[in-house]
Copies of this chain bind each other. A is one copy, B any other.
Amino acid sequence: MSQLDKIGTYPFVAEPFHVDFTGHLTIGVLGNQLLNAAGFHSHDRGFGIDRLNQEQHTWVLSRLALEMTDLPMQYEPYTIETWVENVYRLFTDRNFAVLNKDGKPVAYGRSVWAMINTETRKPVDLMAIHNGDIAGYICDKECPIEKPSRIKVSSQEPVAVLPVKYSDMDINGHVNSIRYIEHILDLFPLDTFKEKRVKRFEMAYVAETMAMDTMAYYIDKVDDNNFDVEVRKNQAEVVCRSKVIFDKLN
């Protein structure tokens, strides 16, 4: 198999409702399209949710780290490349590159996935699925950003406590992975996004938030441009952690 077969390449366009007030693609939409690209890539290689579901398995996103320079503007086409970097027994690393309309990389992403049994909700040995075929897709294309970090938040005073609303929920009745990204960015004052852009964004998904829960948001400010965020359901159990690193706009 050539390296080219291992890398999936998918075209997108920055739609009018996919950009923020600076005209750039939002990180929430970018995250959504990365997950779409991951879905297309794994589907085409026999590891799509549709086939896995028939075998009582599904993918669970555990971590996501993104670094961005100049995201596409409204109406601009862009391309997402995705490939498998590593396969361990219980996790696989999938990377992403986002190319702008001129083919120049403007963002990279790293993600970590587990596979679970849909009945027991327990992790599955990836090497036991389809004779370990997934290892055949490992590709050594470079992804020049740091791996997801360990995030710790010590704050005990929530900056926001949000009820779970209809638009937050996915087909499984959980708060959807992309909505957390939007809610976390919405914790910062609007003026922040006039003066700065997000340079790096990390998410670690720990547990699910259900309809009856509330989402409490806690922030540790590391420095003026570096924030650690934790979401705790019902102000107790951690559901996800995030790191947001800003860069001053020129």
Contact = CB atoms under 8 A, between A and B. Distances in A.
Contacts of A20: 166-167, 169, 171
Nearest to A169: B21
Contacts of A28: 167
A195 interface: no
A32 B17 contact: yes
**Range for the number of chain A residues in contact with chain B:** 35 or more
Interface string A23-63: 10010100010011001000000000010000000000000
A170 B35 contact: no
A199 B26 CA distance: 31
A206 interface: no
A185 B188 CA distance: 24
Stoichiometry, as copies per complex, reads 2
B190 A165 contact: yes
Contact of A16 (B171, B173, B190, B193): B171
Nearest to A32: B17
B74 A171 contact: yes
A70 to B, nearest CB: 16
Interface in A118-164: 164
Given A188-B166, A190-B211, A36 B15 contact: yes
Q: Pick the most buried of A166, A170, A172, A188: most chain B CB atoms within 10 A of its CB.
A: A166
Contacts of A172: 21
A67 to B, nearest CB: 19
Interface string A4-18: 000000000001110
A21 B26 CA distance: 23
A116 to B, nearest CB: 16
Interface of A: 15-17, 19-23, 26, 28, 32, 35-36, 39, 50, 74-75, 164-167, 169-173, 176-178, 182, 185-186, 188, 190, 192-193, 211
